[in-house]
Chain A
Amino acid sequence: MMMNELKKYESAVVKKIVLGAKIKKRLYDIGFTEGVKITVAGFAPAGDPMRIKIRDFYLALRLSETEKIEVEKQ
């Protein structure tokens, strides 16, 4: 499934990032890599961006990215 389909408090493992090289590199740099576990912590008022917990910190990501990230729900 895609990351944007996750609901609040659901956890998943990142499988595949289908994004441009530059954005991908940026995600990698902060530890958003294939195989990392993420948990949805919440959504902004408009339902976008999404707030996730990853490697002990919190990160906000937009729908335009999360809909292109394949995850496996846990």
Chain B
Amino acid sequence: MNQNIALIGNPNSGKTSLFNLLTGTYQKVGNWSGVTVEKKEGFYRRDRRIKITDLPGLYSLDAYSKDEKAVTDYLKNSSPDVIINVVDGTNLERSLNLTALLSDLKIPVVIALNMADELKKNGIKPDLRRLTNAFGMPVVSISALKGENIDNLMRVASEHKTKPLYKNWSAMSPAERFKKLSVIAGEVSEKKLTRSEGITQKLDSVITHRIWGIPLFIAVMAAVYFISLKLGGFFSGVIETLFDNFSELVKSGFTERGIPEWFTMLITGAVIKGIGTVISFLPQILVLFLMLTLLEESGYMARVAFILDRFFRTFGLGGKSCIPMVLSCGCTVTGLMSTRTIENRSEREMTIFLSPFMPCGAKMAVFGWFSYKFFGGSALIAVSMYFLGIIVAAVFGKLLKKTKDFSEGEECFLLEMPTFRLPSLKNVFYVLLLKIKEFSVKAGTVIFAVSVLLWLLMNFGLNGYTSGRAEQSFLFYIGSVLKYLFVPLGFGNWEAAVAVLSGFMAKEAVIETLEVISADAGSLFNNAFSVYAFMSFVLLSPPCVASIVQAKKELKSGKKLFKMIVFQTFAAYITAFIINTLGLILNSDFNLIFIVFSVIIITIAIIFCLKKIFKGGCGSCADCSAGGGKCRKSRKHNTIT
């Protein structure tokens, strides 16, 4: 008989950890609320007839945010045979509210009392019988982290058919319900978690310290970048040498066998070089993800949201936008997915617009390459990109907030701060494995295709095979048209233009392109400033195709997506333009006329944009239209000056 089992519980109660154990698959986990944003299905690894559905966490059966709606929709549309209510044993009183509401649904429920290991460490022995009697649900004590008692849970769940005791909990007032639940929780376990709580409190007093909290966060993120670049960069060098040697070997082998020159060049110059360049970034990206996973697993993410909330609010975001932004430092796609937990529409959409400004792992590889080529391997230059991303997000976030689309007022901010946990080595290992897999697929598909396509476009022109004369190739024609757009940014040549274009397929492709089509990348840029302008353009311009697809999914509107792309292109262009112009001003051989011309253009552009953006006011209250753009409610709304 086929069975449907659903995992339901509070955020961060361990549903996905349990799901991974039950199905033998790997879905992302972390120690913060809202890791899972959509339902995931899998089959019990010991009995494939049992379908298991993992759902986002929630506190009650009402939906507030998009991820919670996935649960209520699921309960409405597909009726599970059994619900496994994953209950955080260290947080019984709060968790039982959902248990009580679930018992009103008249679907058989089994309680999986999770975190048995944590309870044991604190010397707590919960009285399972009392819990069973209170709700009429069998209770199995498990540890999803350690994999304890999991199959026993499934045995109980697959045989359980009785409906819970019906007490019509949802009809009670919340205060009354919680009073009763508090009594039950007290009976189940009398002792409190003093040990784990003490550690968390001590760590929190440092991490969320009023003075040191923010400098510590900046230091942590800078260190994450620095270590990824330095440590990863070392291994990257090794891999690069290996590929170079391999390429030479293939070349001589092919020549001996009389294989046509163009084919040898295609294989060595495009395929091996392109894929080799990209594979050599893998160590950096792995180290980056290793460290971000450690941060996620420990419980640090919620603290970041807590300490930065006030500052994020000054430019129209909230603490919950911090998590997508930090995750975007790994991969924009994961960052964009995590925006689903933000309840406020305008805050969510703004986070989607701004998160791609963060330097993802692929962009970091690009910056690492540039630092190595142009700045003597200084990791500081690459780390500075991370700060540039934050500054641009802050400035443009503030401007965005002034537009009509994003002026919606803030809503309630509730952020749970989980107990600190030691990251599980197994999860870290899985994340790395998953990244290697993802990356290999990427190298074998997108990167391979880009390499071949670029090579073909570069070696073929209107007259057929160009035999190395790039000026006759199709690529040259394309780049020659595009390059004029980039003249004001300091890299107005066809090679750089094509590199920027290829970055939309995958950001790593920027370097791959430069490596493949240009023998001397140094000749492409006027000076260090135009190199930096190029880097900032790569950082800020619309992200790779995969991210754009994800953004479309999150925004659910082609029009908004179009706006996002225009907005990001605009931000990238302005920033790169300013950087390049600065370089022209500071350089000794500056051209006065050009500078005056540039300053005039910048000023006009900024005034024009501000006018466009400020038109219409904040629109969040009647004062705007009535008071001729003067807002008196400066605390709650945006002041228009």
Q: Are A35 and B307 closer than 8 Å at their CB atoms? A: no
Given A22-B412, A23-B412, A55-B94, A29 and B208 contact (CB-CB distance below 8 Å): no
Which listed residue (A26, A30, A34) contacts B94, Cβ 8 A? Answer: A30
Which residues of A have CB within 8 Å of B248?
none
Q: Are A60 and B417 closer than 8 Å at their CB atoms? A: yes
- Cβ of B58 to closest chain A Cβ, rounded Å: 8
Which residues of A have CB within 8 Å of B415?
49, 59-60
> Chain A 15-57, CB within 8 Å of chain B: the 1/0 string?
0000100110111111101111000011111111101000111
Which residues of A have CB within 8 Å of B182?
55
In the complex, A9→B516 CA distance in Å?
62
Q: Are B205 and A42 closer than 8 Å at their CB atoms? A: yes
Task: Report the nearest B residue to A62, measured CB to CB.
Answer: B413
Which listed residue (A31, A47, A48, A62) contacts B178, Cβ 8 A? Answer: A31
Given A34-B175, A42-B204, A44-B208, A27 and B307 contact (CB-CB distance below 8 Å): no
Given A41-B201, A44-B208, A45-B211, A25 and B192 contact (CB-CB distance below 8 Å): no
Which listed residue (A30, A45, A55) contacts B307, Cβ 8 A? Answer: A45
On chain A, the number of residues with a Cβ less than 8 Å from chain B's Cβ atoms is 34
In the complex, A49→B178 CA distance in Å?
25
In the complex, A19→B413 CA distance in Å?
13
Q: Are A29 and B97 closer than 8 Å at their CB atoms? A: yes
Q: Give the residues from 45 to 67 in chain B that come closer than 8 angstroms, CB to CB, to chain A.
A: 59-60, 62, 64
Which residues of B have CB within 8 Å of A60?
302, 305-306, 309, 319, 413-417
Which residues of B have CB within 8 Å of A36?
175, 178
B104 at the interface (CB under 8 A from A): no
B213 at the interface (CB under 8 A from A): yes
Which residues of B have CB within 8 Å of A64?
410, 413
In the complex, A48→B210 CA distance in Å?
10
Most A-side CB within 10 Å, residue of B62, B91, B94, B209: B94
In the complex, A42→B417 CA distance in Å?
12
Q: Are A57 and B94 closer than 8 Å at their CB atoms? A: yes
In the complex, A30→B181 CA distance in Å?
12
Task: Report the nearest A residue to B91, measured CB to CB.
Answer: A57
Which listed residue (B90, B413, B417) contacts A51, Cβ 8 A? Answer: B417
B311 at the interface (CB under 8 A from A): yes
In the complex, A48→B309 CA distance in Å?
8
In the complex, A46→B411 CA distance in Å?
19
In the complex, A45→B214 CA distance in Å?
7
Which residues of A have CB within 8 Å of B470?
none
Which residues of A have CB within 8 Å of B210?
43-45, 47
Q: Are B205 and A59 closer than 8 Å at their CB atoms? A: no
In the complex, A30→B416 CA distance in Å?
10
B310 at the interface (CB under 8 A from A): yes
Q: Are B319 and A49 closer than 8 Å at their CB atoms? A: yes
In the complex, A41→B207 CA distance in Å?
13
In the complex, A43→B204 CA distance in Å?
11
Task: Report the nearest A residue to B212, measured CB to CB.
Answer: A45
Q: Give the residues from 146 to 181 in chain B that come closer than 8 angstroms, CB to CB, to chain A.
A: 174-175, 178-179
A1 at the interface (CB under 8 A from B): no
Which residues of A have CB within 8 Å of B417?
51, 57-60
Q: Are B213 and A45 closer than 8 Å at their CB atoms? A: yes
A72 at the interface (CB under 8 A from B): no
On chain B, the number of residues with a Cβ less than 8 Å from chain A's Cβ atoms is 44
In the complex, A15→B293 CA distance in Å?
41
In the complex, A44→B310 CA distance in Å?
8
In the complex, A57→B213 CA distance in Å?
21
Q: Are A62 and B309 closer than 8 Å at their CB atoms? A: yes
In the complex, A43→B213 CA distance in Å?
11
Q: Are B413 and A41 closer than 8 Å at their CB atoms? A: no
B193 at the interface (CB under 8 A from A): yes
Q: Are B213 and A29 closer than 8 Å at their CB atoms? A: no
In the complex, A59→B94 CA distance in Å?
12
> Chain B 202-244, CB within 8 Å of chain A: the 1/0 string?
0011001111011000000000000000000000000000000
- Cβ of B186 to closest chain A Cβ, rounded Å: 11
Which residues of A have CB within 8 Å of B211?
45
Which residues of B have CB within 8 Å of A51?
204, 208, 306, 417
Q: Are B413 and A65 closer than 8 Å at their CB atoms? A: yes
Which residues of B have CB within 8 Å of A49?
306, 309-310, 319, 413, 415
Given A41-B201, A41-B204, A48 and B310 contact (CB-CB distance below 8 Å): yes
- Cβ of A47 to closest chain B Cβ, rounded Å: 8
B296 at the interface (CB under 8 A from A): no
Q: Are B414 and A59 closer than 8 Å at their CB atoms? A: yes
Given A56-B93, A57-B91, A26 and B204 contact (CB-CB distance below 8 Å): no
Q: Are A35 and B179 closer than 8 Å at their CB atoms? A: yes
Q: Are A44 and B179 closer than 8 Å at their CB atoms? A: no
Task: Report the nearest A residue to B209, measured CB to CB.
Answer: A45
Q: Are B174 and A28 closer than 8 Å at their CB atoms? A: yes
Most B-side CB within 10 Å, residue of A41, A57, A59, A61: A57
- Cβ of B309 to closest chain A Cβ, rounded Å: 5
Which residues of B have CB within 8 Å of A58?
200, 204, 416-418
Task: Report the nearest B residue to A49, measured CB to CB.
Answer: B309
In the complex, A19→B410 CA distance in Å?
13
> Chain B 461-476, CB within 8 Å of chain A: the 1/0 string?
0000000000000000
Q: Are A27 and B414 closer than 8 Å at their CB atoms? A: yes
Which residues of A have CB within 8 Å of B204?
41-42, 51, 58
Interface residues of A (CB under 8 A from B): 19, 22-23, 25-31, 33-36, 41-49, 51, 55-62, 64-65
Instruction: Give 5 A-B contacts (CB < 8 Å), ordered by A residue.
Output: A25-B62, A51-B208, A60-B302, A64-B410, A65-B413
Give me the 10 closest cross-chain CB pairs, A-B, nearest first: A46-B310, A28-B174, A23-B412, A58-B417, A29-B59, A29-B60, A60-B415, A33-B175, A55-B93, A31-B94
Q: Using A28-B175, A30-B416, A65-B413 as known contacts, list a sample of 15 further A-B pairs with CB atoms less than 8 Å apart, ordered by residue number in A.
A: A28-B174, A29-B60, A29-B97, A30-B59, A31-B93, A33-B174, A36-B175, A44-B309, A49-B310, A51-B204, A57-B91, A58-B200, A59-B414, A60-B305, A62-B309
